[in-house]
Amino acid sequence: MAIQSKFELERYQYGIDIRKTHHIYRKDDKIISFGEWIRRRKDRCIIVEMITDIGKHEAFFYQELNGHDHIIRTFGSIENNFNQIIYIANAMSFIASKSIVHGDLGCRNVLVFKLDPNQPKNNLVKITDFGLARSLKISSISNNSSIIPKRYCALEILRNNDQSSYTEKSDVYSMGVLIWEALSNSEIPYSYIADDNQVVRAKLDNERLNKPLICDRQLWTLMTSCWEDEREWRPNFEEIKERLSVIKPSEVSDIREPISLPPTGCAFKLNVDVSRNGLLGGKFRKIYEAQWMLDKGTGSIVLIEINEAPTDYEVLFYKERDNHQHIINTFGFVENNFRSIMLLQERAPYGHLQELLKKHVFEPTPMVLINIFSQIIDAMIYIVNKGMIHGDLRCSNVLVFQMDSSKPKENFIKLTNFALARPNKSSLLEDKRLTISVEYCAPEILRSVGRLNYSELSDVYSMGILMWEACSQGKLPHGSSISNKEIRQKKLNGEILPRSWMCDRQIWPIIKKCWENEPESRYKFQVLQTKLSSINLEPGQIVYDAEWMRKKTSPIVLIVINTETAEREASFYIELSSYKHIVHTFGLVKNDPRSTILIQERAPHGNLLTLLKRQRFKPSTKILVAIFSQIVDAMIYIIEKDIIHGDLRCANVLVFKMNQLETKENLVKLTNFALTCTNDPSFINNRQTSISIRYAAPEIVASRSQSNYSELSDVYSMGILMWEACSQGEIPYGIGTSENDIRRRKSTGEKLPIPNEWNEQISSIIKDCWYMESQLRYNFNDMMKRLSNVNIE
């Protein structure tokens, strides 16, 4: 084939770059059809198929004279894969004549030795990989008899995998699958099913492959005849050769309705409404700094130059969506004289997340990362509710408008780049062959070579990669030394990325859940949001698993404290660590001068709040009294040191032993001294670590300077802690209640509800902790006495 167009001589690939639409006319030596670009170009063209030697002679002059202003410009030629299928059939006919069954026929086992787009007859392919081959003359048991290419093999092999099932006709079945695969751009058969065993069930239930888009009626009839249930009805390879010989390449048509983009128009004009300034960057699309002209608008803007026509889905997304706080604001398209498409968007002052992380300009704590992830997921929930998906979630498509490495609420991001946006419909065949990112996309998309299986759940998979990338400080998934082919194979084999040492232990299980091989096993975005919001991380702290390198064997963790008062906090850990109900701190680690790193003993069961909320620990009243007594015992020790804890709650109680039946088999220890201070009424908390309004005493909540810390303010918080434990980890005042509402309720003396079924003595102790006037509350010594007198029937 040759293409006549105004472009410079360049090679294109049929079915990938260009396709035929409507037939124009046919002469003795050529067929002329309208052409349509699939990617890279958008100008009008025609396709001229040269059939005879005279046509080839004419094509030679078209190319020789190419380039003159008044002679039609010829692009060159297009590769056609049809002849290669004939060569494979010819080779298989020879193999069958030797009474040999290949046993593993598929495009992956066809090697290409020569590829000549101009002369299809010059192409040379050869069949390889006889690891599963069998001889019909020699009865032998193969060492690989248990290995079955389930997506390619015949139905009789799936029903009964023995020697009698392997015949020429079983290879014919696989030949039909190979033809389908070749015409489907190497899409894996049944790509929408992840599990090979489920593929087997589908095939045995007579579920057939769908007709490829580029497929002649005669060729489709041949393929379906190869898949007959009864093998006697299938053609042999000699018959396949004969049937292929009467099908001409020009008859393998690709007549499809082109995707028509809705008329967009240009809302702005370059050098009238906006001006284009310097190049800012952009790997796939160039991004220019821009400026409003003549008071046409306000705010920082950029111009994005798009070399290819945007998909209709991308255009519709920009046109029809409502404004969302976490989606980039797009003003519209800009008319220009550069013959390119320009998109006008707001500018993010800090650029994209991946670059900030990679250059260590932004080193967010886990709490900050969770906040950022929640904003991205919020945008994705909105997009999914609109019936769409993003299609390309990654850190480089997250723009940063506000950032603070230690304050979660001081970060603000927006999602950008909707080039791969499409409907949330996994069965929708993607007509345009857009480049997919192997590192970020879901395995079900790789199985379809980027043509099928796009859904909310494929975006969830990519969200998992995005979170891994952010937790790894912008590290490229799979690294830069591994090829896309290797990444693809790893994903199809079910391999996942390893946990980064920087990734928080509570975030990691959520990331892994995003990577389930079966899409239905992954969380949806709504569930993902809930899971992230339930994570309890202390601000300013990062916890890492660790181990001793010399002799010492006790389990340990490394606590990295990034707050401004890290040294003060560390001093409290060390001073109080010798007590039996306070977490033991071994010492400091010399490392980064910007951070304080502590070595602490590791609690095998984690914190009390998580155990209660996840129903992994359901202590009886008797066990709860024992736990409360240990916490109060720690507080008595702390008060004797003239120190206030400042942040008593279940999340700050580590569980070293737990037993729901034996009281003595429970051991808890107090941790987290971020808000700890000396017992000084004049103390003012002016640190960056904010107080938790839900647990703080009214006198602290009411104080603008957050002063009035005392033993009795800790007693109030102890009452909230006990209520939380008795409620099996329920959040005080509810998860959706604002801090302002909690302040108001506390200032009016409103208290948390206490169910009637709770132990009366425990309920009384809790209530007495919550007096508005702090002097009316019991101290910790009195509380210990009252706990020891609780009667448990």
| Rounded-to-integer distance, Cα 682 and Cα 648, Å | 20
Strands (E), 382-467: 388-389, 398-402, 412-415, 422-423
| CA triple 274-279-282, angle to 5 deg | 110
Model confidence pLDDT, tens digit, residues 512-552 = 999 999 999 999 999 998 888 767 665 556 677 788 887 67
Residue 263 lies in a domain: no
Bigger pLDDT: 633 vs 118: 633
**Any idea which of 56-70, 137-151, 400-414 has the lowest mean pLDDT?**
56-70
Structure-block tokens of residue 705? 């300077």
pLDDT at 23: 59
Same domain as 384, residue 319? no
Dihedral in degrees, nearest 10, Cα atoms 165, 171, 176, 179: 150
Residue 7 has pLDDT above 50, yes or no: no
Rank 55-69, 395-409, 693-707 by mean pLDDT and report only the highest.
395-409
Cα 253 to Cα 5, 14, 217, 700, distances in angstroms: 20, 11, 9, 77
**Any idea which of 48-52, 267-271, 326-330, 662-666 has the lowest mean pLDDT?**
48-52
Q: Please answer whether residues 578 and 569 qualify as being in contact, where contact means their C-beta atoms are separated by less than 8 angstroms.
A: no
Bigger pLDDT: 564 vs 792: 792
Where a domain ends, among 479, 499, 533? 533
Residue 259 lies in a domain: no
CATH code assigned at 523: 1.10.510.10
| Rounded-to-integer distance, Cα 15 and Cα 185, Å | 8
How much is the CA Rg of the chain, to the nearest whole Å? 34
Tokens 């425990």, located at residue = 762
| Rounded-to-integer distance, Cα 607 and Cα 162, Å | 56
Residue 768 lies in a domain: yes
Q: Please answer whether residues 430 and 452 qualify as being in contact, where contact means their C-beta atoms are separated by less than 8 angstroms.
A: yes
Same domain as 75, residue 86? no
Q: Please answer whether residues 135 and 117 qualify as being in contact, where contact means their C-beta atoms are separated by less than 8 angstroms.
A: no
Helix (H) or strand (E) holding 37: strand 30-37
Residue 688 has pLDDT above 70, yes or no: no
pLDDT at 389: 93
pLDDT at 261: 38
Rounded to the nearest integer, the mean pLDDT of the chain is 82
Model confidence pLDDT, tens digit, residues 336-377 = 887 778 899 999 999 999 999 999 899 998 889 999 999 999
- Closest alpha carbon to 418 in 378, 382, 450, 389: 389
Q: Please answer whether residues 406 and 562 qualify as being in contact, where contact means their C-beta atoms are separated by less than 8 angstroms.
A: yes
| Position 681 confidence tier, pLDDT thresholds 50, 70, 90 | low
Residue 564 has pLDDT above 60, yes or no: no
pLDDT at 437: 83
Same domain as 507, residue 372? yes
Structure-block tokens of residue 317? 């997304």
| Rounded-to-integer distance, Cα 105 and Cα 93, Å | 13
pLDDT at 452: 73
| Rounded-to-integer distance, Cα 55 and Cα 49, Å | 8
pLDDT at 6: 34
Structure-block tokens of residue 88? 């494979």
Same domain as 612, residue 595? no
Distance of CA 649 to the CA centre of its chain: 34
Where a domain ends, among 515, 533, 551? 533
pLDDT at 54: 46
pLDDT at 322: 65
Average of per-residue pLDDT across 544-571: 75
CATH code assigned at 66: 3.30.200
Q: Please answer whether residues 443 and 517 qualify as being in contact, where contact means their C-beta atoms are separated by less than 8 angstroms.
A: yes
Residue 257 lies in a domain: no
Q: Please answer whether residues 365 and 540 qualify as being in contact, where contact means their C-beta atoms are separated by less than 8 angstroms.
A: yes
Same domain as 727, residue 685? yes
pLDDT at 224: 92
| Position 74 confidence tier, pLDDT thresholds 50, 70, 90 | low
Domain that holds residue 15: 2-79
Percent of the chain past pLDDT 90, that is, above it, reads: 41
pLDDT at 685: 53
| Rounded-to-integer distance, Cα 738 and Cα 191, Å | 47
**Any idea which of 272-276, 387-391, 574-578, 666-670 has the lowest mean pLDDT?**
574-578
| Rounded-to-integer distance, Cα 515 and Cα 492, Å | 12
Same domain as 294, residue 187? no
CATH code assigned at 332: 3.30.200.20
| Rounded-to-integer distance, Cα 521 and Cα 321, Å | 30
Residue 793 has pLDDT above 80, yes or no: no
| Rounded-to-integer distance, Cα 249 and Cα 31, Å | 11
Residue 593 lies in a domain: yes
Structure-block tokens of residue 526? 């709504």
- Closest alpha carbon to 88 in 246, 251, 244: 244
Where a domain ends, among 343, 361, 379? 343
Same domain as 738, residue 769? yes
pLDDT at 545: 72
pLDDT at 81: 62
Q: What is the value of pTM for the model shown? A: 0.53
Same domain as 166, residue 33? no
Residue 691 has pLDDT above 80, yes or no: no
Model confidence pLDDT, tens digit, residues 580-599 = 999 998 888 876 666 678 88
Bigger pLDDT: 689 vs 559: 559
pLDDT at 79: 47
pLDDT at 337: 80
Bigger pLDDT: 316 vs 700: 700
Residue 458 lies in a domain: yes
- Any long-range contacts for 760-766 (C-beta under 8 Å, 24+ apart)? 761/786, 761/789, 761/790, 761/791, 762/621, 762/624, 762/625, 762/722, 762/726, 762/790, 765/719, 765/722, 765/790, 766/719, 766/722, 766/723, 766/726
Same domain as 371, residue 519? yes
Residue 262 lies in a domain: no
Same domain as 499, residue 619? no
- The 3-class SS string of 192-257 reads CCCCHHHHHHHHHCCCCCCCCCCCCHHHHHHHHHHCCCCHHHCCCHHHHHHHHHCCCHHHCCCCCC
Same domain as 383, residue 333? no
Residue 13 lies in a domain: yes
Print burial letters for 627-664: b (CB count within 10 Å at least 16), e (below 16): bbbbbbbbbbbbbeeebbbbbbbbbbbbbeebeeeeee
pLDDT at 9: 45
Residues 6+ apart with CB under 8 A from 527: none
pLDDT at 292: 92
pLDDT at 302: 92
Bigger pLDDT: 773 vs 57: 773
pLDDT at 10: 59
Average of per-residue pLDDT across 665-672: 94
| Rounded-to-integer distance, Cα 666 and Cα 617, Å | 11
Average of per-residue pLDDT across 145-150: 83
pLDDT at 129: 85
Number of domains in the chain: 6
Report DSSP state, residue 282. Answer: -
Average of per-residue pLDDT across 650-661: 93
Residue 309 has pLDDT above 90, yes or no: no
Bigger pLDDT: 295 vs 197: 197
Distance of CA 383 to the CA centre of its chain: 15
CB atoms closer than 10 angstroms to residue 296: 13
Same domain as 417, residue 527? yes
Q: What is the C-alpha end-to-end distance of the chain, expressed in Å?
A: 91
Residue 210 has pLDDT above 50, yes or no: yes
Average of per-residue pLDDT across 135-164: 82
Residue 312 has pLDDT above 70, yes or no: yes
| Rounded-to-integer distance, Cα 600 and Cα 612, Å | 23
pLDDT at 39: 67
Model confidence pLDDT, tens digit, residues 453-473 = 889 999 999 999 999 999 999
* SS3 assignment, position 81: coil
- Closest alpha carbon to 205 in 190, 220, 188: 190
- Any long-range contacts for 634-640 (C-beta under 8 Å, 24+ apart)? 634/579, 634/581, 634/582, 634/669, 634/670, 635/670, 635/714, 635/718, 635/780, 636/780, 636/781, 636/784, 637/576, 637/579, 637/581, 637/582, 638/576, 638/582, 638/670, 639/679, 639/711, 639/714, 639/779, 639/780
pLDDT at 649: 93
